[in-house]
């Protein structure tokens, strides 16, 4: 296993643990983990870049991290509501308990994560600039990764929080005078970092889960789109789409391609397939401890908790017990809103089984229900014992299902590496797919009044799923938002960023979300800065976002 470096200088909420001692801060560091020592070699700097990937793993592993972070980035949106077992209720419902102080324990997780990432990446950039590299290819990859992660951190900070401080030089020791930086300036910095990343990163990722040029161009296109520079967004998106190492998957492939009920969209998400296709631009490695923590399928410990969050608590309904037949044990923390299901027209593979679990057949004798009884069929209330909007049986994408033993046709036997009754999965997870790049391209074309080209970009994605092709008259920002929801629900993107940047948040939450809709106001179009960060910043004013004082 490659040794990972985690040099984390302390920032914002972490400042309180450092004593303010000038003599101490001026001493020459001797610790192995100090950057002056570790970043003095090619290998040390390259290991520092590997450590940046592990910081991304913080979002997915450990306790309730993903529950809190999912609530901040995707909760209280048009197509996401709480499930039966509700969690992070103030943020998910936008109730009166949601605020910069009352929700601080959740907010600080994501805020501190992005600033750790930005500061660690900046440290690598600065030390690399003063280092006499022996391996220029390794330099380019290391610097490319550092620029990418610094851009990534500032992009999401800016899109979620607005006018936030930026980290453009190493921050160590105690700093209490951070100031808000305008959103437009921040996006300019982000674009600059992604430009450098796309220039420096290798054409082919050096190993599964690492970044390539196409990943950099995708995020550069997204940043240009957010800055309303549509011509450059189009150029960057095309650079990723036309990359010879990447393409949309249109034929069946991989570990379960011999299963007749499957299809090409379903294949994308099966075990061992995430890195075995040309569409994935960045894949979270759930089982690769060189980049991220190793998954632990046994109960307890770290593991990616996709089922826990996004599979309903179906076992609470009579006639059902948790089984890999239905994706494993779901805790039902979150659920699509009913409006999301209305996005899928007949024939769209993404809205049908096996890409979506749309029916439930009893797998337990209980009361007057016997094994084999049909309990629920989505879209067919006449065939269902339970109502169509029962939160316990809400249909869900099967992207994160637990793995079953393919030698058991009933799917009741877990994969040998799975433990059936935990809320985790051994599958990898897409952070960026090329399908999203096509939809970024479509929006850039639409905003330049070229709806014929935008319709074709959208149809490239829709054809793969057997969805009806649309005409140029149907193209709109709302349609593109809907298409992203059809294609990407539950993957590694933020729905809240999509709605914030398009100015559609309040409108669409009111329209589709029965929990957050009655509470949403304009102040919710930016997330509150954690109050402790404002309090600690005693030597300058860190201005809270409008409406959150």
Q: Is the pLDDT of residue 299 over 70?
A: no
- Average model confidence (pLDDT) for the chain? 91
317 versus 3: the higher-pLDDT residue is 317
d(C-alpha 49, C-alpha 38), whole Å: 12
Q: Which residue in this structure is represented by tokens 């470096």?
A: 5
* Cβ neighbours of residue 91 closer than 8 Å, sequence gap 6 or more: 68, 71, 72, 75, 76, 98, 103, 106
Closest CA to 232 of 497, 440, 455: 440
Q: What's the pLDDT at 21?
A: 30
Q: What's the pLDDT at 60?
A: 81
d(C-alpha 76, C-alpha 315), whole Å: 25
292 versus 380: the higher-pLDDT residue is 380
Rounded mean pLDDT, 267-278: 96
What length does the chain have? 549
Distance of CA 383 to the CA centre of its chain: 36
427 versus 194: the higher-pLDDT residue is 194
Closest CA to 236 of 198, 204, 193: 198
d(C-alpha 185, C-alpha 183), whole Å: 5
Closest CA to 493 of 273, 216, 219: 219
Q: What's the pLDDT at 141?
A: 98
Q: What's the pLDDT at 293?
A: 67
Closest CA to 222 of 435, 437, 56: 437
Q: Could you read off the pLDDT of 438-459 as tens digits, one per residue?
A: 999 999 999 999 999 999 999 9
Rounded mean pLDDT, 126-146: 98
Closest CA to 423 of 294, 333, 293: 333
Q: Is the pLDDT of residue 3 over 70?
A: no
- Alpha-carbon separation of residue 481 from 78, 193, 403, 489, 499 (angstroms): 10, 26, 31, 11, 8
Q: Quick check: 92 and 71 in contact, CB under 8 A?
A: yes
């Amino acid at each position: 296993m490659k040794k990972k470096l985690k040099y984390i200088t302390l920032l914002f909420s972490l400042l309180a643990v450092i004593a303010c001692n000038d003599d101490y801060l001026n001493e020459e560091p001797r610790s192995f983990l100090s950057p002056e020592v570790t970043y003095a070699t090619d290998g040390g700097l390259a290991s520092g870049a590997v450590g940046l990937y592990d910081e991304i793993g913080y979002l997915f592993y450990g306790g309730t991290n993903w529950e809190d972070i999912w609530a901040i980035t995707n909760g209280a949106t048009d197509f996401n509501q709480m499930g039966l077992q509700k969690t992070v209720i103030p943020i998910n419902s936008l109730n009166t308990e949601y605020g910069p102080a009352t929700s601080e324990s959740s907010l600080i997780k994501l805020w501190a994560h992005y600033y750790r990432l930005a500061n660690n990446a900046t440290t690598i950039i600065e030390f690399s600039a003063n280092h006499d590299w022996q391996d220029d290819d390794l330099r380019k990859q290391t610097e490319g990764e550092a620029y990418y992660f610094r851009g990534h951190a500032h992009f999401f900070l800016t899109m979620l929080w607005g006018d936030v401080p930026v980290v453009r030089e190493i921050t160590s020791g105690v700093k209490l005078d951070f100031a808000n930086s305008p959103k437009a300036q921040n996006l300019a910095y982000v674009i600059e970092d992604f430009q450098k990343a796309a220039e420096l990163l290798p054409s082919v990722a050096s190993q599964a889960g690492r970044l390539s040029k196409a990943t950099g161009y995708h995020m550069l296109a997204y940043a240009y789109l957010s800055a309303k520079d549509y011509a450059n967004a189009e150029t960057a998106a095309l650079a990723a789409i036309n990359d010879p190492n990447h393409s949309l998957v249109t034929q069946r492939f991989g570990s379960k391609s011999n299963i007749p009920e499957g299809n090409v969209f379903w294949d994308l998400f099966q075990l061992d397939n995430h890195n075995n296709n040309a569409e994935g631009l960045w894949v979270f490695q759930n089982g690769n401890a060189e980049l991220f923590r190793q998954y632990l399928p046994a109960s307890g410990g770290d593991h990616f908790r996709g089922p826990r969050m996004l599979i309903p608590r179906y076992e609470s309904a009579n006639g059902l017990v948790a089984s890999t037949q239905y994706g494993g044990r779901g805790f039902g923390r979150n659920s699509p809103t009913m409006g999301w299901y209305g996005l899928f027209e007949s024939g769209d593979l993404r809205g049908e089984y096996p890409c979506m679990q749309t029916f439930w057949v009893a797998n337990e004798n209980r009361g007057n229900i016997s094994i084999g009884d049909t309990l629920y069929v989505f879209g067919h209330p006449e065939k269902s014992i339970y109502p169509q909007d029962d939160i316990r049986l809400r249909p869900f994408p099967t992207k994160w299902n637990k793995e079953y033993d393919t030698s058991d046709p009933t799917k009741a036997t877990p994969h040998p590496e799975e433990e059936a009754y935990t809320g985790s999965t051994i599958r990898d997870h897409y952070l960026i797919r090329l399908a999203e790049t096509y939809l970024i391209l479509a929006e850039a074309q639409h905003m330049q009044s070229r709806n014929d080209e935008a319709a074709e970009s959208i149809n490239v994605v829709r054809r793969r799923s057997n969805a009806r092709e649309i005409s140029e008259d149907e193209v709109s920002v709302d349609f593109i938002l809907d298409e992203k929801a059809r294609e990407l629900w539950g993957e590694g993107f933020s729905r809240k960023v999509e709605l914030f940047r398009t100015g559609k948040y309040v409108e669409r939450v009111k329209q589709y979300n029965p929990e957050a809709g009655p509470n949403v106001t304009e102040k919710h179009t930016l997330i509150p800065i954690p109050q402790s960060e404002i309090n600690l910043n005693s030597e300058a004013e860190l201005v809270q976002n409008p409406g959150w004082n």
